[in-house]
Amino acid sequence: MNKIIGKINALILSALMIVSGTAAVTGVFNTNRLTAVAAATMMTFLAMVPGTKITHAQGNDDVIKLRVCNWEEYIDLGDWDEEERMELENGAEIFGENSMVDDFTEWYYETYGKRVEVEYSCFGTNEDLYNQLTLGDVYDLVCPSDYMIMKLMAEKKLVPFSEDFYDTDNPDNYYVRGVSDYIKDTFDENEIGGESWSKYAAGYMWGVTGVLYNPEKMTEEEASTWDVFLNDKFKRQVTIKDNVRDSYFAALGSYRKDELMDESLRNAPDYQERLMQIMNDVDSDTIENVEDILQDMQGNVYSFETDSGKADMISGKVVANYQWSGDAVYAMDQAEEDDFYLDFAVPEESTNLWFDGWVMLKSGIGQDAEKQQAAEAFVNFVSRPDNAVRNMYYIGYTSVISGGDDDTVYDYLKWNYEAEDDEEDTTEYPVGFFFCGDDSNEDYIMTVPEEQTRRQLFAQYPTQEVLQRSAVMQYFDDTANKEINQMWINVRCYNIEDVPVQIWIFVGVAIVLVIYITIRIRMSHYREKK
């Protein structure tokens, strides 16, 4: 993941050289991974561009055409350098020679004896994807976030996964055999219209939101609250997301802080249910109060940002940034290359548990059984433990796959974070909650550098305590969305209703005065002409 920027630069240069007639490009661009011929490089670059469609096929005879749309830079594109080859403790060898999509077409033919052609496209935001669908773009398999999955479910635009997809006896059903029980339970328990997510969605990546911060400028306690964006100690030194849902969640956490921190709530048997209700409160009064808090945050933060927060943290421009866990890992990795260390904290009030997942569209799949089989096979292929590791390594986010009886994902985690035998300042870090549902299982207790309890490992695999105080932000109906969007317009633009009466009086007087002076001048000019 820390190699993506260099890869993009190299790919752009390769594309330009192709246009100018150069057949291939060689050289080193940060990562030493770009040694492919120019044509292949160009195709890889195009696959990263939203709306661009790249075809990967095994042949032209009797081909199943599968249209896949995913986030930008959200799948392994291959071209790994040899030095990046991994040999894990369980003997698994991890190496991305080809793109994941190309490897899928090979695997599908070997497994099912049929050829598949993948038309791979990218989108930039959930809203971009929805707009593309509204405008008539047709895809079979897409990978939106949790709330967009819920929206598509509510609008009856999805095809349910087949019973065969959930057959645990099928060795090629890597998703159902390897998905973390924690993730599976979350998908099973969340419903839209009385139907669980699991019926229509398979997880891909997951994480939490939190605060990326500079530990030399801010304490862990100061960073571990949504109020950090209101703290005037850090005025113009923190950034928040220019995203209505994420920022609403943060402001709501601040607004309901006292209730969220109350021990009687924390110890209640229905704590999780009540937490979900609190963090999905879209009552009109609540929206109004959240708007006030966001207005205060706007007056305190350096900026609302979409993607610049990582660079601002790495450069030291700001001391804290509201961030998704995967992007926080990226920023921490990049900073460490310059011996600059950042930490990650999760607000004590609550955090947002988010998912990206695969869904099949009626407009694409329809009643085509072969196409549905290919779409489900694609989900299974990227869920194979070694492929889950490839994708995690390449993009930096955390797969929903624990591996089941396959230790590949856990061994990759140890490969990344386990302390050396002679290392000092170590601690035990349990990850059993994700891998087997039990943090006390000694097989999933790692000995790690103490710093990792607040850095990359913590961001990728939060503690059980953090996950228990996390909430999925639900899809809001049209009425709530209208109110929230208007609230956001008021915050990010100028709310005319907030202008004091005195200002309106002043403006009115000024306008009248300007009109009066203009009339007097024109009348004067008229008399002079006469």
Least confident of 10-24, 288-302, 353-367: 10-24
Question: Looking only at Cα atoms, what is the longest distance across the chain?
Answer: 102
**Three-state SS across 166-185?**
HCCCCCCCHHHHHECHHHHH
What average pLDDT does the segment 390-406 reach? 96
Residues 10 and 119 reside in one and the same domain: no
- The count of structural domains within the chain is 4
CB-hemisphere CA count at 13 Å for 286?
17
Residues 42 and 175 reside in one and the same domain: no
In whole angstroms, what is the distance from residue 170 CA to residue 167 CA? 6
Residues 129 and 170 reside in one and the same domain: yes
pLDDT at 56 > cutoff 80 = no
What average pLDDT does the segment 444-452 reach? 97
CB-hemisphere CA count at 13 Å for 245?
19
Question: Which pLDDT belongs to residue 1?
Answer: 47
Residues 339 and 361 reside in one and the same domain: no
What average pLDDT does the segment 16-36 reach? 35
Residue span of the structural domain in which 130 resides: 49-204+355-412
| Residue 44's pLDDT band (cuts 50, 70, 90) | very low
Only one residue has tokens 């770009």, namely 34
Question: Which pLDDT belongs to residue 439?
Answer: 93
CB-hemisphere CA count at 13 Å for 448?
22
What average pLDDT does the segment 170-182 reach? 97
In whole angstroms, what is the distance from residue 77 CA to residue 101 CA? 8
At CB < 8 A and 24+ separation, what contacts does 63-66 make?
Answer: 63/115, 63/116, 63/117, 64/114, 64/115, 64/116, 64/117, 64/370, 64/371, 64/374, 65/116, 65/117, 65/119, 65/371, 66/116, 66/117, 66/118, 66/119, 66/140, 66/141, 66/371, 66/374, 66/375, 66/378
DSSP string, 373-426: HHHHHHHHHHHSHHHHHHHHHHH--EESB--TT--HHHHHHHHHHPPPTT-SSE
Question: Which pLDDT belongs to residue 530?
Answer: 56
Write b or e for each residue in 100-129: b if 16 or more Cβ atoms lie within 10 A of its Cβ, otherwise e.
Answer: bbbbbbebbeeeeeebbbbbbbbbebbeeb
Cβ atoms of residues 119 and 67 within 8 Å: yes
Residues 325 and 453 reside in one and the same domain: yes
pLDDT at 353 > cutoff 90 = yes
* Angle value at C-alpha 402, between 106 and 456, nearest 5 degrees: 105
Question: Which pLDDT belongs to residue 502?
Answer: 63
Residues 271 and 195 reside in one and the same domain: no
CB-hemisphere CA count at 13 Å for 407?
11
Question: Which pLDDT belongs to residue 150?
Answer: 96
Question: Which pLDDT belongs to residue 32?
Answer: 34
DSSP 75: S
Cβ atoms of residues 221 and 228 within 8 Å: no
pLDDT at 185 > cutoff 70 = yes
Residues 316 and 453 reside in one and the same domain: yes
Last residue of a domain, one of 374, 395, 412: 412
- Per-residue model confidence as pLDDT tens digits over 365-377: 999 999 999 999 9
pTM for the model: 0.82
Q: Return the sign of the alpha-carbon dihedral for residues 416, 420, 426, 428.
A: positive
Backbone angles phi, psi at 135, to 5 degrees: -80, -5
DSSP string, 187-235: HHH-EETTEEHHHH-EEEEEEEEEEEE-TTTS-HHHHSSGGGGT-GGGT
pLDDT at 343 > cutoff 90 = yes
In whole angstroms, what is the distance from residue 205 CA to residue 74 CA? 9
| Residue 500's pLDDT band (cuts 50, 70, 90) | low
In whole angstroms, what is the distance from residue 247 CA to residue 321 CA? 12
Cβ atoms of residues 378 and 370 within 8 Å: no
In whole angstroms, what is the distance from residue 256 CA to residue 471 CA? 14
| Residue 354 identity (one-letter amino acid) | W
Last residue of a domain, one of 365, 384, 412: 412
Residues 5 and 76 reside in one and the same domain: no
Bridging pattern class, strands 195-196 and 303-305: unpaired
- Per-residue model confidence as pLDDT tens digits over 196-229: 999 999 999 999 999 999 999 999 999 999 999 9
Residues 6+ apart with CB under 8 A from 81: 31, 32, 33, 35
What average pLDDT does the segment 163-180 reach? 97
| Residue 38 identity (one-letter amino acid) | A
Residues 64 and 110 reside in one and the same domain: yes
In whole angstroms, what is the distance from residue 82 CA to residue 86 CA? 9
Helix/strand/coil percentages in the chain, nearest 5? 50, 15, 35
Residues 66 and 171 reside in one and the same domain: yes
- Per-residue model confidence as pLDDT tens digits over 312-321: 999 999 999 9
Only one residue has tokens 């695997």, namely 107
Q: What is the CATH number of the domain that holds 335?
A: 3.40.190.10
| Residue 510's pLDDT band (cuts 50, 70, 90) | confident
| Residue 58's pLDDT band (cuts 50, 70, 90) | very low
Burial class (CB in 10 A: 0-12, 13-18, 19+), 336: middle
- Coil/strand/helix, residue 71: strand
Among the listed residues 293, 290, 338, 284, the one whose alpha carbon sits nearest the alpha carbon of residue 314: 338
Question: Which pLDDT belongs to residue 307?
Answer: 87
Percent of the chain topping pLDDT 90: 79
Residues 429 and 281 reside in one and the same domain: yes
Question: Which pLDDT belongs to residue 513?
Answer: 81
Question: Which pLDDT belongs to residue 509?
Answer: 78
Residues 339 and 385 reside in one and the same domain: no
